[in-house]
């Protein structure tokens, strides 16, 4: 049975908003190439993504505290509606300064959702005494992610059948290229997803507002308490270390993957097909992971998957041609599908309910910081060394992750 009793009544809005978001998540497939086609350097596109991580580092904890103080629903909806505005605006921007501002704002928008969305869902399930659905939610979320990415890849590659690469059109007396369409579509999807979640209920009790001074003190106290708990708890600490180091590696891999595929004779028009094929496996791999972790310790399971990714990345310098390149991409993507839902549920199993959004934001702070480090140096190094060599050296960051997971008793 695909859904458990009562699962859809509690979670269908969350599932649907995720499905729409992932099905039209086309921007990540073209973000670096897009700005290159708009007349900017390859490094500028990477720098823009790094800027969004800068604002993530700055605002992750304050927005997590905001969610824990004033409601996870409000925080999540800010993300969707602000993101919609930003994405619908970007194709109109030609100034580097305004693009930097837009991506800085998008980084802030992400922080409003990062800690709040999952906290909103988990607390709803706990309120309805359905703790049994927590792991199910994280598993299904990644199945939905994979199914959505399968569709988004097909949409991207299929777009080239409708519009050639050199297609241009006018809107409001301004010329646009084919890839501008991607931003308009994804902007409207953000808007629709936010509207879907408007009717979702929230079990979290919003606290009575105090004076600004008292609110600030409460926020600082909550943040400090969350940090102390995070670094004292062995599981939370291991996941935070994994978040930082694996995100650096993941962003290195992401920044290098597009030129890596081009270097191995995979044309741009095939990027969507590659993404879709890889995503298909993500539809069922999270279900397999859910069954495995019922029989083995989660820390050993996560350490084992990290070792597999490390070994695969050590062989990347010997990869030549599209088939081996695809095989490498498949192995590391499958690792993500098998590990991420387990890691997320593992984190929430050990997180206090009253600090859930703040704790999740602390975790996402390290995700943002990892992305900032990787993309900050990526824009420079990809002009100096090959994409494969970049990934090869980045893989050594996975070794400490294995160590911290194996130390959990």
Residue 1 has pLDDT above 60, yes or no: no
Residue 256 has pLDDT above 90, yes or no: no
Element (H, E) at 23: helix 7-23
- pLDDT category at 88 given cuts 50, 70, 90 is very high
Radius of gyration of the chain (CA): 21
Residue 78 has pLDDT above 90, yes or no: yes
Mean pLDDT of 257-281: 77
Looking at per-residue pLDDT, the higher value among 191 and 356 belongs to 191
Residue 212 has pLDDT above 60, yes or no: no
Q: How far is CA 31 from the centre of its chain?
A: 15
pTM check: above 0.95:
no
Tokens at residue 10, please?
């509690």
Element (H, E) at 174: strand 174-177
On whether residue 269 sits in a domain, the answer given is: yes
Give the Cα-Cα-Cα angle 274, 275, 276 (nearest 5 degrees). Answer: 90
Residues in contact with 338: Cβ distance below 8 Å, sequence separation at least 6, in sequence order: 285, 286, 288, 289, 305
The whole domain housing 195 covers 9-406
Element (H, E) at 111: helix 96-114
On whether residue 267 sits in a domain, the answer given is: yes
The answer to whether 369 and 57 have CB atoms below 8 angstroms apart is yes
On whether residue 37 sits in a domain, the answer given is: yes
Residue 104, CA distances (Å) to 54, 239, 244 in order? 7, 26, 20
Q: Which residues pair with 175 in a beta bridge?
A: 170
Residue 404 to residue 341: CA distance in whole angstroms: 19
- pLDDT category at 103 given cuts 50, 70, 90 is very high
Which of 19-33, 67-81, 198-212 shows the lowest per-residue confidence on average (mean pLDDT)?
198-212
Residue 2 to residue 327: CA distance in whole angstroms: 30
Residue 407 to residue 74: CA distance in whole angstroms: 38
pLDDT at 220: 65
User: What's the pLDDT tens digit per position in 27-72?
Assistant: 877 787 788 778 887 678 778 888 887 887 788 778 877 887 788 8
Which of 73-77, 299-303, 377-381 shows the lowest per-residue confidence on average (mean pLDDT)?
377-381
On whether residue 2 sits in a domain, the answer given is: no
Q: How many CB atoms are located within 10 Å of the residue 395 CB?
A: 20
Q: Give the chain's mean pLDDT.
A: 82
Q: What CATH number corresponds to the domain at position 72?
A: 1.20.1250.20
**Of 247, 252, 250, 238, nearest in space to 400 by CA:** 238
Residue 276 to residue 153: CA distance in whole angstroms: 5
Q: What are phi and psi of 39, to 5 degrees?
A: 100, 5
Mean pLDDT of 82-88: 96
On whether residue 215 sits in a domain, the answer given is: yes
Domain count, the chain: 1
- Compute the CA torsion angle 361, 343, 230, 121 (nearest 10 deg): 50
On whether residue 3 sits in a domain, the answer given is: no
pLDDT at 269: 67
Q: Which residues pair with 171 in a beta bridge?
A: 174
On whether residue 4 sits in a domain, the answer given is: no
- pLDDT category at 213 given cuts 50, 70, 90 is low
On whether residue 135 sits in a domain, the answer given is: yes
pLDDT at 322: 87
- pLDDT category at 204 given cuts 50, 70, 90 is low
Residue 329 has pLDDT above 90, yes or no: no
Mean pLDDT of 252-279: 77
User: What's the pLDDT tens digit per position in 145-180?
Assistant: 778 878 887 887 777 667 666 666 677 777 887 788
The DSSP-derived string for 206-265 is PPPP--HHHHHHHHHHHHHHHHHHHHHSHHHHHHHHHHHHHHHHHHHHHHHHHHHHHHTT
pLDDT at 351: 76
Which of 114-128, 238-252, 347-361 shows the lowest per-residue confidence on average (mean pLDDT)?
347-361
Tokens at residue 268, please?
């741009």
Residue 397 has pLDDT above 70, yes or no: yes
The answer to whether 176 and 166 have CB atoms below 8 angstroms apart is no
């Amino acid at each position: 049975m695909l859904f458990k009793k009562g699962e859809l009544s509690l979670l269908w809005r969350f599932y649907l908003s995720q499905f729409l978001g992932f099905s039209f998540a086309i921007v990540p497939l073209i973000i670096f190439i897009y700005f290159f086609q708009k007349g900017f350097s390859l490094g500028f596109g990477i720098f823009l993504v790094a800027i969004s991580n800068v604002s993530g580092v700055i605002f992750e904890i304050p927005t997590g505290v905001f969610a824990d103080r004033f409601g996870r629903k409000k925080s999540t909806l800010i993300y969707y509606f602000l993101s919609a505005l930003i994405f619908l605006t970007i194709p109109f921007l030609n100034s580097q300064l305004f693009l930097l501002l837009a991506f800085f704002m998008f980084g802030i928008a992400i922080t409003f959702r990062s800690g709040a969305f999952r906290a909103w869902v988990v607390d709803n399930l706990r309120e309805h005494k359905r703790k049994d659905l927590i792991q199910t939610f994280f598993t299904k979320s990644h199945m939905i992610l994979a199914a959505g990415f399968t569709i988004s890849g097909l949409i991207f590659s299929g777009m080239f059948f409708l519009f050639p690469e050199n297609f241009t059109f006018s809107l409001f007396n301004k010329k646009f290229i084919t890839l501008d369409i991607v931003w308009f579509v994804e902007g409207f999807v953000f808007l629709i997803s936010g509207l879907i979640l408007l009717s979702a209920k929230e079990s979290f009790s919003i606290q009575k507002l105090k004076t600004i001074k008292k609110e600030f003190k409460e926020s600082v106290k909550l943040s400090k308490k969350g940090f102390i708990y995070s670094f004292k708890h062995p599981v939370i600490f291991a996941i935070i270390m994994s978040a930082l180091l694996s995100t650096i590696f993941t962003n290195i891999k992401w920044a290098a993957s597009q030129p890596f595929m081009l270097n191995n004779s995979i044309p741009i028009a095939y990027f969507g097909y590659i993404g879709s094929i890889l995503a298909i496996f993500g539809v069922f791999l999270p279900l397999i992971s859910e069954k495995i972790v019922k029989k083995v310790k989660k820390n050993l399971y996560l350490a084992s998957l990290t070792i597999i990714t490390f070994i695969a990345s050590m062989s990347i310098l010997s990869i030549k041609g599209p088939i081996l390149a695809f095989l490498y991409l498949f192995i590391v993507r499958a690792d993500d599908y098998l590990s991420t839902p387990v890691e997320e549920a593992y984190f929430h199993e050990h997180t206090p309910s009253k600090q859930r959004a703040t704790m999740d934001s602390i975790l996402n702070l390290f995700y943002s910081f990892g992305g900032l480090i990787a993309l900050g140096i990526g824009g420079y190094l990809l002009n100096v060394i090959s994409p494969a060599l970049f990934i090869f050296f980045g893989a050594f960051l996975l070794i400490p992750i294995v160590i911290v997971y194996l130390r959990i008793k």
